[in-house]
Amino acid sequence: MSFLSIRNLSLRLKGGERLLRAVSLNVEAGEVRGLVGESGAGKSMIGKAVLGTLPQAVEVVSGEIWLDGVDLLTLPVGQRRKRIGGLAALIPQDPLTALNPSRRIGPQITDRLVDILSWKRDRAEARARELLAEVQIDGAERVLRSYPHELSGGMRQRILIASAFAAEPKLIIADEPTTALDVTVQKQILRLIAGMQARHDTALLFVTHDLGVVSKVCQNLTILYGGLVVEDASVRDFFHAPKHAYSRALLAATPKYTDPAASLLPVPDAVIAAVRAEVAAADEAWHG
């Protein structure tokens, strides 16, 4: 069985709108999978469902989330948290809001290790120093005593990456980790994530709307629209011959500076209408 296996997962806002429509996707051990969609497609919700951090207003309607052979949705909350905490971690999107502005960096890395995984504080602190070296931060002692506002955006993102790898997770969910950064820093950070992923042989679910980034860091990808999986393919197959009309339109809308004649094409209304019809059909099948 795959390391992470999501089966027919459906989510909705309590008493309202559907967010995910019978989504199935697998991430093998050590695989890097891109999860791509426009805003509102439900890509972040998948990550949150796996990590057990869905907002209060969202409920699971049906489905299974198997992580390393256990269906998380059947576990009681306490056990679920322990299990997720030991196996999976998150690299969040915005490095400023993800760090507590009023606390020093050090405890923000070590607290999770001490509180949830019951590490001794000494061991957690030694691990934090080791990790900062691994994410190429010099002067670890000084940085661990700093507050988030004293560090640059790229530096903060490195710290969150270090923090995600702290407990040697087998799966990392990266939720748009470079959207807030400029291209040169983005490149460094992506290199860093890819390098860490390969060294630790961690599976990575890379949530993004940027197909350019996906083509660089992922082996496979899943495209979402309106909470529905529209395409699931290897990166190579996808970029050479996308199967779904929506995928093709999305690719055509992605800017490419090397193509001088490139006029960006918005996703055509007909394609949107067709993919919406698929979403509606999925809803009907669900009710029926």
Partner 1 sequence: MADLYEVKDLHLSLPDLTRKPFLGPAPRIEILNGVSFTIAKGEILGIVGGSGSGKSTLGRALLRLLQPTGGSIHFDGQDITYLSEDRLRPSRRRFQMIFQDPMSSLNPRHRVGKIIAGPLQVQGMDHSPARVADALDHVGLPRSFAQRYPHELSGGQRQRIGIARAIALRPEFILADEIVSGLDVSSQAQVLNLLEGLVKDLGLTLGFISHDLSVIRRLCTRVLVLQQGRIVENAPTCQVFAAPSAAYTRELLDAIPLPDPDQVWV
Per CB under 8 A, the list member of 118, 257, 284, 287 interacting with partner 1 is 257
Cα–Cα distance for residue pair 215/142, rounded to 1 Å: 36
Buried b (16+ CB within 10 A) or exposed e, 101-111: eeeebbbbbbe
* Closer residue to partner 1 (CB): 123 or 236: 236
Contacting residue, 57, 96, 265, 270, with partner 1 by CB under 8 A: 265
Burial 8-39 (b: 16+ CB within 10 A, else e): ebbbbeeeeebbbbbbebbbeebbbbbbbbee
Q: Does 155 bind partner 1 (CB under 8 A)?
A: no
CB neighbours of residue 77 within 10 Å: 8
Q: Is 233 a binder of partner 1 (CB under 8 A)?
A: no
Residues 158-217 binding partner 1 (CB under 8 A) are 181-187, 190-191, 194, 209-216
Cβ atoms < 10 Å from Cβ of 267: 17
Element (H, E) at 203: strand 203-208
Number of residues assigned to the chain: 288
The token pair that represents 81 in the structure block: 């948290």
Q: Could you give the count of Cα atoms lying within 13 Å of 276 in the half-sphere of its Cβ?
A: 7
Q: Is 153 in the site for partner 1 (CB under 8 A)?
A: yes
- Residue closer to partner 1 by CB (options 83, 187) is 187
Separation of alpha carbons 179 and 167, rounded Å: 25
By beta-carbon proximity to partner 1, the closer residue of 139 and 266 is 266
Q: Is residue 56 part of the contact set for partner 1 (CB under 8 A)? A: no
Instruction: Tell me which residues in 9-48 interact with partner 1 (CB under 8 A).
Output: 38-39
Task: Give the contact letters, 68-107, x = binds to partner 1 (CB under 8 A), - = no.
Answer: ----------------------------------------
Count the residues of the shown chain that bind partner 1, applying the rule CB under 8 A. Answer: 42
Stretch that binds partner 1, among 64-72, 99-107, 265-273, 280-288 (CB under 8 A): 265-273
Find, among 148, 185, 173, 182, the residue nearest to 88 by Cα: 173
| Residue 10 vs 93, nearer CB to partner 1 | 93
Select 10 or 208, whichever has its Cβ closest to partner 1.
Answer: 208
Q: Closest distance between partner 1 and the C-beta of residue 246, in Å? A: 10
Q: Which is nearer to partner 1, 76 or 260 (CB)?
A: 260
Angle at 158 between CA 157 and CA 160, to 5 degrees: 65
Enumerate binding residues for partner 1 (CB under 8 A).
Answer: 38-39, 149-150, 153, 181-187, 190-191, 194, 209-216, 235-236, 239, 249-251, 253-258, 260, 262-267
